[in-house]
Every structure is written in structure tokens, then in C-alpha cells.
Amino acid sequence: MEKPENLENLERSINELRNNFVSLTEPHRPALWRFCLRLTGSAWDAEDLVQETMMKAFARLAYLGQVLDMKAYLFRIASNSFIDQIRKTKILPEELEIAAEIPNETEKRPAETREAIEILVKTLPPRQRVIVLLSEVFDFTAAEIATMMETTEGAIKAALHRARTSLKAATTEQMTSEGQTRTGITPPLPIIERYIDAFNKLDPEALLALLDPSVVNDIVGDWEEHGKEQMKKFSLHYWVLDKTPKWVEYGIFEGRPVLFGFRKTARHEKTLSEIITLNIADNRVISQKWYFFNVDMIHYAAKLLGVPAETHGYRFSEPS
């Protein structure tokens, strides 16, 4: 079905604006991803929170009517989105009541390491977790956090004081994802083996044969395709044009089954460049998520696997 001409014109205009927005926010993406990872404790949830933040930030731009600090703008949306998610699942305690004594502005930070802070935030209520991370790890001032959280500076200082008191008693229990991220695993289904074989042979027709006619290909954060013909015309077309030696291996990333996509480069025999998840039903791939322009998530997974990463920016660029 052909798109109405006016809708097509709107789509082009929006894509141009979105590309400008991605470029503008790119310097803040690594810090935003680390913040979301520490909030959620999961690379999957962190990437979801980053994508939600970016969508909300872009959608709200037309309603602002003022110039904002981009980093604070993104962190504020991520913080509130995270708290809203928690509120949907459970009732939060009152966390920001003003303490009887507000700590002095010159109070020094404790000497514990950032690793100890990360352990502590796992046990804090969500709103306090946000405040501690913004202050102790990402160096926002109490005044800046108060503006972001729509509360008073005194309430922020009180929350920080309580958290710092708890920090002194925090254990140094080591948190790790070891054993939850690995590759070299035998695929559990024949269709996954066939998908891997088709991918590694760079055979688009063999890949298409495994897909449901109405397959949804979500190139996370950049593009979405509906149906095999759309994939053939766009993502698989450019995939074939890219002659870099590439292959996928079945594995586990933080407890979820994935296909790790590797490439051989001039500097490295094996670099991680993408992650694919498959949704299979009736012996067909009915949807897949293709994490290709998710720079920070790929670097994080590569570190867990002990390999370098080869990433491609936060959005698609037409090959020259």
C-alpha cells in the first residue's frame, strides 16, 4: 500500500529532525547509558530505558519553548521514567521528607569506591537511587538535582545524607554478570541453526525463507521494518553490500539467548558489532530485534565477552 504523499513528506521532515537530534545528543549517550545501567542493574533494561528516554525527549522538544541543558534534560527524563516504571509495579515509600537536621554544605563525600556506591543503590528505594547516582557518580549538584526531580534542594540534601550514612555500613559484596554472558553454546532449535548458517553464508534468500511473511524487524532505536519485502529492500540489501567478514554465534547475554554478531577488522580478528534476538513461533521467525546502532550496549557486552567492539554510530548513514 502506497503512503499518502502528505504523510511521506512528513516522514522525510521528521527523519531529518531526528537525525539532527541524534547528533545533538550523541555526546551524552555514553553517560546516559551508564546511568540507566546503574539504575536498572540490567543491560537489557538499561537499553530499554535509554530508548524510552530518547523517544520522550525528541517528542517533547516541540512543547518546550526554551533552550535547555541537553544532558540534564535527558537525565531528568530517564530518572522520571525509571521511577514511573517502578510505581507501576509497587507503591513507593515516602523518601524525600525533610530531615530534622540538613547536613552542612561542606560535608565531604565518603571515601568508599564507586563500586560500593553501585552495590548500595541496588538496596535503595528508586527515587533515592536516582539521587545518589546523579550526585555521587554523575556530579550533578543538589540544586541541579532538585530542579530535575521537581523538589527542594533541602529534600535532596536530606536524601543524600541518609544514603551516605547507609553507605558507611554497605558491604563490599561483589556484583558481577560472570557466567550470565557467554558464547559458544549449541542452539536449542534447528531453525536457529539454520538462521546462523544463512547469516554466516551471507545468504539473504536463505534468511528470508526462515521469516514469517509479516515479520517485524526492529533495528532498535533507528528503524522498523514490517514484512519480508521491506527487509529485503532495506536492511538485508545494505547487509549484503557490506563486504566486511562477519558471522554470528549463539550465546547468552545477561541471561537472555542472543546471536552475537562478530566482524573481522584490520586490527582485530574478532570484534563484537551487533546483537540479535529472535522471536520464534510455528518454526518461523515472527519478529527480531537487531541491536546494531546501540553503541554503549555493544561495548558493554563486548567487555563481558572479553573481545573488542566495532560499532557504527547511533543511526544509519547511507554508504558513500
- Confidence at residue 97, expressed as pLDDT on a 0 to 100 scale: 36
Question: Residue 69 corresponds to which cell in the numbers above?
Answer: 541543558
- Confidence at residue 305, expressed as pLDDT on a 0 to 100 scale: 96
Task: Please state the separation of Cα 113 from the chain's center in Å.
Answer: 25
Q: Is the C-alpha dihedral spanning 181, 183, 187, 193 positive or negative?
A: positive
Q: Do 315 and 293 form a contact (C-beta atoms < 8 A)?
A: yes
- Beta pairing partners, 190: none
- Confidence at residue 264, expressed as pLDDT on a 0 to 100 scale: 96
Domains 5-89 and 182-305 are alike in CATH topology: no
- Confidence at residue 168, expressed as pLDDT on a 0 to 100 scale: 59
CA dihedral 317, 52, 130, 150 (to 10 degrees): 110
Q: Do 292 and 314 form a contact (C-beta atoms < 8 A)?
A: no
β-sheet with 271-281: strand ranges across? 182-183, 246-253, 256-263, 271-281, 284-291, 211-219, 223-226
CATH of 182-305, one of 3.40.1800.10, 3.40.50.300, 3.40.50.10380, 3.10.450.50: 3.10.450.50
Contacts of 43 (CB under 8 A, 6+ apart): 37, 253, 254, 297, 300, 301
> The pTM is what?
0.79
Q: Do 209 and 226 form a contact (C-beta atoms < 8 A)?
A: no
- Confidence at residue 163, expressed as pLDDT on a 0 to 100 scale: 76
- Beta pairing partners, 277: 289
Q: Domain coordinates of the chain in residue numbers? A: 5-89, 182-305
The answer to whether domain 5-89 has CATH 2.60.120.10 is: no
- Confidence at residue 122, expressed as pLDDT on a 0 to 100 scale: 62
> 284-291 and 211-219 as β-strands: parallel, antiparallel, unpaired?
parallel
- Identity (one letter) of the amino acid at 228? K
Q: Do 310 and 271 form a contact (C-beta atoms < 8 A)?
A: yes
- Confidence at residue 93, expressed as pLDDT on a 0 to 100 scale: 43
- Beta pairing partners, 279: 287
- Alpha helices by DSSP H, listed for the chain, are 5-25, 29-40, 43-60, 70-89, 114-121, 126-132, 142-149, 153-168, 190-200, 204-209, 228-233, 235-241, 295-305
Q: Between vectors from CA 40 to CA 178 and to CA 42, what angle results, nearest 5°? A: 30
**Interval 30-64: pLDDT, tens:** 999 999 998 988 999 999 999 999 999 999 887 87
Residues of the chain with pLDDT under 70: 1-5, 65, 67, 89-123, 166-179, 319-320
**Interval 299-315: pLDDT, tens:** 999 999 999 999 999 99
42 three-class SS? coil
- Confidence at residue 4, expressed as pLDDT on a 0 to 100 scale: 55
**Interval 160-195: pLDDT, tens:** 888 777 655 554 333 444 448 999 899 999 999 999
